[in-house]
Amino acid sequence: MKLSQYYVPISRTLGYDAMDQPFTLIFGPTRSGKSFLTLHLINVLASLPLDNINGLHGLASCPTQMYIIDLKNAEMAGLGRLLPPDRVATSKSEALKLLVHFIELKRKRANFIADKTSFGATASTLHMPLFCLILEEYATTNAVFNEGLSKQDRNDRYKWDALIRELFLTGAGLGFVAIIITQQPSVGNAGLSTIITEQVSVKLGMGAMTSTQLRLGFGNDVDIPDYHLTKGEGLAWINGSNDELLMPFRAPHIDPSRIWETLKLSLSYQDTDRYLLMTNT
């Protein structure tokens, strides 16, 4: 099986191209396996490209650069111990600062592609590394930015919304991607704007949920199968692959005693200056 340079396995039999399908939504109740699935995706993304589908770990010649916003200060925030400084935000001010920086990097890459490369070039044709923003528990993050009535609160809220909108509308072709994690997949409950939901190209519903909950996450255009899912099991919708039929999967087993050492290896290739404008042509 010939793998795309940006191929990311969800399980050993199911995956997606993170450049072509840049925005992922992972939803499900507490203790459904969302965080462990995300750690698996981070591990693979950070060591792209894969050379062996069964290995679930890659060559790291085109490593995705990871940025994390986790206002719950939970598992994702813990990766700050492995990432370079200022890659993880755990407060409102840090989150806005990180998002501003992430968008500035996107714009810098856009200018580079426009000014320094041949006409029609894209991050994909130039084989540039991905830059990925992880948004842990988006409902919590959105609620924090909707709090407060001061002028500063309103300015922060406007700036946050504008930058998120810019990322989801313009990031894809530049290799700037995102993974959203949330318990509540609906627009109303999680604060997911229609701009975000329309741009999401991979949806992964984890754990036991009612058909109503699944429909909130996957929408009304797909058939909801009668599966009883447990922790670590999920249903996947991948744009252009299974538009009307959800695919069941079991996330790869992650040994909690070994995951830290695995991530320490895969996240050892994090260097903004080296990879932002790097091409592999």
163-191: pLDDT as tens digits: 999 999 999 999 999 999 998 666 455 56
* Inter-residue contact 43 to 266 (CB < 8 Å): yes
Mean pLDDT across the stretch 65-77? 94
What burial class does residue 110 get, using C-beta atoms within 10 Å of its C-beta: 0-12 exposed, 13-18 middle, 19+ buried? middle
Instruction: Supply the DSSP symbol for 133.
Output: E
Element (H, E) at 41: helix 34-45
Choose between 237 and 139: higher pLDDT. Answer: 237
Give mean pLDDT, residues 128-157.
90
Tokens for 147? 């709090």
Residue 235 and residue 214: Cα distance in Å, rounded? 9
d(Cα 53, Cα 68) in Å, to the nearest integer? 26
Q: What is the pLDDT of residue 189?
A: 52
pLDDT score of 245: 82
What is each CA distance from 217 to 214, 221, 250, in whole angstroms?
5, 11, 18
- Between 77 and 226, the higher pLDDT residue: 77
Q: Rank 29-33, 40-44, 213-217 by mean pLDDT and report only the highest.
A: 40-44
- The pLDDT-based confidence of 259 (bands split at 50, 70, 90) is confident
Instruction: Render pLDDT for 94-127 as a digit per residue (tens, 0 to 9).
Output: 999 999 999 999 999 999 999 987 888 899 999 9
57: helix, strand or coil:
coil
**What pLDDT is attached to residue 134?**
97
**Identity of the highest mean pLDDT range in 50-54, 140-144, 254-258, 260-264:** 260-264
Average pLDDT over residues 140-168: 90
Mean of the per-residue pLDDT values of the chain = 89
Compute the distance between CA of residue 151 and CA of residue 154 in angstroms, rounded to an integer: 5
3 pLDDT band (50/70/90 cuts)?
A: confident
Beta strands in 42-125 (DSSP E): 65-69, 88-89
Which long-range contacts does 220-227 make (Cβ < 8 Å, 24+ apart)?
222/246
222 in Cβ contact with 207 (< 8 Å): no
Is the distance from CB of 200 to CB of 217 less than 8 angstroms?
no
Cβ(91)–Cβ(69) below 8 Å? no
Nearest one of 65, 100, 108 to 83, comparing CA atoms:
65
- Which of 58-67, 140-149, 216-225 bottoms out in mean pLDDT, i.e. has the lowest? 216-225
Burial of 20 (0-12, 13-18, 19+ CB in 10 A): middle
Residue 62 has pLDDT above 70, yes or no: yes
pLDDT score recorded for residue 24: 96
